[in-house]
């Protein structure tokens, strides 16, 4: 049995995972987001560690069988500066932080010779305000003293791992964006030079070996309520862990995660950066040195839907009914769902991207407005998957697919069956699966894949939504031209 811990942006979860993939004794708790001017979004590392301790101890206390190991997965991107003892030298900067937006916007100027384009051609990763590239550049300009005090610039998972084990390291899935050559697993110095931050490369730790297992030290053992020496597996980070936990594992297969933001990803063995690719998304290393995950982590998602529901004083439980009250195409109401202050990062990067509604009249209802926004989120998913070259089996997870109407909308838009895992804790599940493999006792993944429900598309709805999707792409193209000329 493995204790899985998933440290999200605002919620930390834990559960026990059996070898057959079932989960037990779930626990969750919130951690705070510290928001400020100019798009500041930070966290408190001690608060995050307190959340880890709370959920882990609750689950450990409920366990009736021995715990073989701890498996950690966490939010990616952002910037978690620490000293040699694992203490934060400043508040960790979230992947949602927008303070580097103007820097990234400047990097995007110059077409094929832009910084953004040249970094992408070197590493296959786009840069956006909340990535290491933008945040290191912002700190270098505004807070160089923080960088000078730091021993390591990492991510959430390795910040937690350092406090549990004393080890300074990083999982290759986290380190992949935006400076790693994923085939050699080495940092590309030229990419850092292009961003003007090569002097801080010493803060980037070498990625851990694919089969690396750590152990709890005395402080980590006390924090979690487990014996010192308990094995610890860290990574892959949450997007990739969700793919494994949802049953996606073969080249060509895709996963859509409809959460606070929207993540679309496809496994591939091809890391060719083609000339027609826009500088967006990323290739991630996986525990298989010859398999990669190409990801489009869009900024759209349920956060925008939650905002819309709150505007109408509705609850998330009202969503299914609202979707059913309006036909495909929302009676002519159209939306672009780029509501994040940081703009968009996939399948294109534009810090100036903004949301919009068109086609509204006083005859329209709130159901049509909500449906139009939901359709635009799912259209963004289809757009990402088409760019990624999806051509296999598609799994879906996240809070969005708990609504049957939303899940059906995804299937109808894609025109392909959607596989939805029975277990909700897909990130923890995926991290546990990787942990068992690292421990030398891999699980039967084919059996885990059987624990899913197939949802088939409605042909008539697909035909209607296919036409609306083409309109969406045309309106998106027009909007991007306006943003670039603003």
pLDDT digits (tens, 9 = 90+) for 213-242: 999 999 999 999 999 999 999 999 999 999
Tally the residues of the chain.
Answer: 486
Using the predicted structure, report yes or no on whether residue 406 has a pLDDT greater than 90: no
> What are the structure tokens assigned to 410, written together?
């995804």
State residue 397 phi and psi, 5-degree precision.
Answer: -150, 180
Using the predicted structure, report yes or no on whether residue 414 has a pLDDT greater than 80: yes
- State the Rg of the chain over Cα: 21
- Cα–Cα distances (Å) from 302 to 35, 84, 179, 339, 381, in that order, read 19, 37, 29, 11, 13
Confidence at residue 341, expressed as pLDDT on a 0 to 100 scale? 83
Strands in 11-17's sheet, in edge-to-edge order, are 23-30, 11-17, 2-7, 69-74, 231-234, 214-215
Mean pLDDT of 56-65: 95
Question: Is 394 in contact with 254 (CB distance < 8 Å)?
Answer: yes
Condensed to tens digits (0 to 9), the pLDDT of residues 320-369 reads 899 999 999 999 999 999 998 878 889 998 888 999 999 999 999 999 99
The band of 249, judged by pLDDT with boundaries at 50, 70 and 90, is confident
State residue 280 phi and psi, 5-degree precision.
Answer: -150, 165
The band of 168, judged by pLDDT with boundaries at 50, 70 and 90, is very high
The band of 486, judged by pLDDT with boundaries at 50, 70 and 90, is low
Using the predicted structure, report yes or no on whether residue 100 has a pLDDT greater than 70: yes
- DSSP annotation of 294 reads E
Q: Strands of 75-182 (E only): list them.
A: 80-82, 152-154, 180-181
Mean pLDDT of 443-465: 93
Distance, in Å, from the CA atom of 318 to the CA atom of 333, rounded to the nearest integer, reads 19
State residue 6 phi and psi, 5-degree precision.
Answer: -120, 110
Angle CA 353–140–89, to nearest 5: 105
Q: Which residue carries 């610039």 as its tokens?
A: 153
**Mean pLDDT score of the chain, rounded to an integer?**
94
Q: Strands of 289-417 (E only): list them.
A: 292-298, 334-336, 356-358, 394-397
Identify which of 394, 393, 426 has the alpha carbon closest to the alpha carbon of residue 410: 394
| 163 vs 485, residue with greater confidence | 163
| 195 vs 302, residue with greater confidence | 195
- Return the bridge partners of 34, or none: 42
Q: Does the bond joining 155 to the residue before it have cis omega, within 30 degrees of 0?
A: no
- The gap from C-alpha 71 to its chain's centroid, in whole angstroms, comes to 18
Question: Is 331 in contact with 372 (CB distance < 8 Å)?
Answer: no
| 23 vs 219, residue with greater confidence | 219
Condensed to tens digits (0 to 9), the pLDDT of residues 101-122 reads 999 989 999 888 999 999 999 9
Q: Does the bond joining 236 to the residue before it have cis omega, within 30 degrees of 0?
A: yes
Distance, in Å, from the CA atom of 243 to the CA atom of 249, rounded to the nearest integer, reads 7
The whole model's pTM is what? 0.91
């Amino acid at each position: 049995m493995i204790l899985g811990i998933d440290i999200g942006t605002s919620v930390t979860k834990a559960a026990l995972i059996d070898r057959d993939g079932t989960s037990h004794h779930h626990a969750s708790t919130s951690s705070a987001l510290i928001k400020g001017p100019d798009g500041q979004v930070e966290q408190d590392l001690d608060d995050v560690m307190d959340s880890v301790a709370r959920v882990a101890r609750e689950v450990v206390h409920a366990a009736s069988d021995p715990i073989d190991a701890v498996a950690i997965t966490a939010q990616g991107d952002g910037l978690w500066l620490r000293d040699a003892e694992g203490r934060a030298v400043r508040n960790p900067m979230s992947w949602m932080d927008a303070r580097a937006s103007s820097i990234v916007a400047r990097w995007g100027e110059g077409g094929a010779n832009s910084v953004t384009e040249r970094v992408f051609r070197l590493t296959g990763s786009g840069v956006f305000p909340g990535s290491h590239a933008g945040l290191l550049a912002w700190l270098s300009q505004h807070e160089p003293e923080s960088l000078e005090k730091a021993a390591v610039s990492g991510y959430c998972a390795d910040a937690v791992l350092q406090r549990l084990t004393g080890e300074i390291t990083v999982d290759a899935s986290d380190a992949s964006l935006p400076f790693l050559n994923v085939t050699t697993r080495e940092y590309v110095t030229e990419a850092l030079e292009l961003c003007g931050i090569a002097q801080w490369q010493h803060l980037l730790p070498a990625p851990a070996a694919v089969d690396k297992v750590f152990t709890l030290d005395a402080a980590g053992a006390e924090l979690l309520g487990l014996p010192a020496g308990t094995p610890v597996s860290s990574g892959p980070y949450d997007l990739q862990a969700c793919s494994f936990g949802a049953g996606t594992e073969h080249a060509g297969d895709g996963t859509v995660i409809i959460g606070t933001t929207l993540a679309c990803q496809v496994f591939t063995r091809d890391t060719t950066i083609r000339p027609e690719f826009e500088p967006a998304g990323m290739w991630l290393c996986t525990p298989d040195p010859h398999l990669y995950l190409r990801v489009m982590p869009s900024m759209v998602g349920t956060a925008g839907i939650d905002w819309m529901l709150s505007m109408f004083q509705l609850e998330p439980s009202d969503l299914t009914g609202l979707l059913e009250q309006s036909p495909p195409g929302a009676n002519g109401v159209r939306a672009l769902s780029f509501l994040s202050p940081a703009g968009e990062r996939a399948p294109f990067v534009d810090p100036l991207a903004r949301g919009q509604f068109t086609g509204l009249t006083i005859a329209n209802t709130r159901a049509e407005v909500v449906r139009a926004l939901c359709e635009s989120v799912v259209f963004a998913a289809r757009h990402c998957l088409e760019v990624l070259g999806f051509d296999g089996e598609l799994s879906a997870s996240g809070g969005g697919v708990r609504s049957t109407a939303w899940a059906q909308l995804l299937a109808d838009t894609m025109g392909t069956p959607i596989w939805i895992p029975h277990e909700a804790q897909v990130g923890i599940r995926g991290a546990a699966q990787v942990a068992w493999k690292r421990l030398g006792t891999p699980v039967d993944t084919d059996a885990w894949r059987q624990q899913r429900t197939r949802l088939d598309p409605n042909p008539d709805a697909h035909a209607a939504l296919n036409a609306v999707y083409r309109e969406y792409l045309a309106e998106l193209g027009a909007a991007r031209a306006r943003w670039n000329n603003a």
